Amino acid sequence: MASENGVCFQVVLFCMFFAVANSIDLSYPAAFNFGDSNSDTGELAAALGFLLAPPNGQNYFKPPSGRFCDGRLIVDFLMDAMDLPFLNAYMDSVGLPNFQQGCNFAAGGSTILPATATSISPFGFGVQVSQFLRFRARVLELLAGKKLDKYIPAEDYFEKGLYMFDIGQNDLAGAFYSKNLDQVLASIPTILLEFETGIKKLYDHGARNFWIHNTGPLGCLPQVVAKFGTDPSKLDVLGCVSSHNQAAKTFNLQLQTLCNKLKGQYPDANVTYVDIFTIKADLIANYSKHGFEQPIMACCGYGGPPLNYDNRVSCGLTKILNGTKISAKGCNNSSAYVNWDGIHYTEAANQYVASQILAENYSNTPSPNKMPFLL
């Protein structure tokens, strides 16, 4: 780390994380993950054939790993807690990927609603579910041949495994570019109906353990503040865009209602609703208490304070704009930042969020209503 304080902070988080992880039962033989860039471990990069530029990956993997982060994601820390290896991306065929203990279908830019011609990712939630169903069918065929059982899940892993979901952020954030707040709020039931359809398909094919993350405070992302926060009246006391956070909270409350509905429909299933919003909102509101120095400004970006974000140049890249060369460079100490690149969180922030998830204080609670500083 670039500073002694950064090292101490990481050590404290490391100890806290594993103390918590050892206190709860996470005995799943495999995990199957669905989502967007918040949990993409290389799917979009493999599928579209591109490499993320350094300094992505610098704090853990060293070269970029296909993750939109300086290191590990929340899902990576959760896999560690379950004593399972990091999940390989479904589309990644290089490096002898092993899917024996799970597979990751999450892809950056993905939405719950089907992709359109202008979507960043073609892998909407329905496509990810279809990929899983093909994966499952192919695994069962290969198991019959008894040749690749060292590399693919056992048949009962599909029932005993954990199904993880972190998706919906792009449905909301993307909608604001063409819709007002009322229109975005009106679209939420349609989004969640698509999500429910996918969950039911997975249940019909044996899934029983569902771990569903809600969406975080979108209005606090530098990308959103740069685009929609130029008018100070649209910002809250933390400098976050109020409309986006209101949409996130509404989405989350309806998602929680859906989770309760699924519990009633499927009494033999375990459905856990995880309140990511409250964890991240508290981290941003009380960043110094949690060991951070910058709650909103991006670590890897261009433009300097207060946001260090320019949508014309992504983290690690250099462009010529109006005859001037501009570069989005990483900061000296990413562990002091909550935000990595204007959209995604740093490894240090992801580690903190994961520790709070594992503490089980943020599951199955209607806590978005308890965050008055983000109303």
Q: Which residues are identified as catalytic?
A: 37, 341, 344
- DSSP-assigned letter for residue 363: B
Helices and strands, counts by H and E, the chain: 11, 9
C-alpha–C-alpha distance, residues 338 and 296, integer Å:
7
Q: Are strands 324-327 and 318-321 parallel, antiparallel or unpaired?
A: antiparallel
- Residues linked to residue 329 through DSSP beta bridges, in sequence order: 301
CB atoms within 10 A of CB 98: 13
Q: Which candidate, 17, 28, 142, places its Cα nearest to that of 87?
A: 28
What DSSP letter does each residue of 230-268 carry, written as one string?
A: SSGGGB-TTS-BHHHHHHHHHHHHHHHHHHHHHHHH-TT
Judge whether 158 and 99 are in contact, CB under 8 Å.
no
For the residues of 323-359, what is the DSSP string, one character each?
Answer: TEEEE-B--S-GGGEEESSSSSB-HHHHHHHHHHHHT
What token pair was written down for 32?
A: 């199957």
Q: DSSP characters for 142-200?
A: HHHHTSSTTTS--TTHHHHSEEEEE--HHHHHHHTTT--HHHHHHHHHHHHHHHHHHHH
CA distance 101 to 77: 15
Q: How far apart, in whole angstroms, are the C-alpha atoms of residue 337 and residue 31?
A: 29
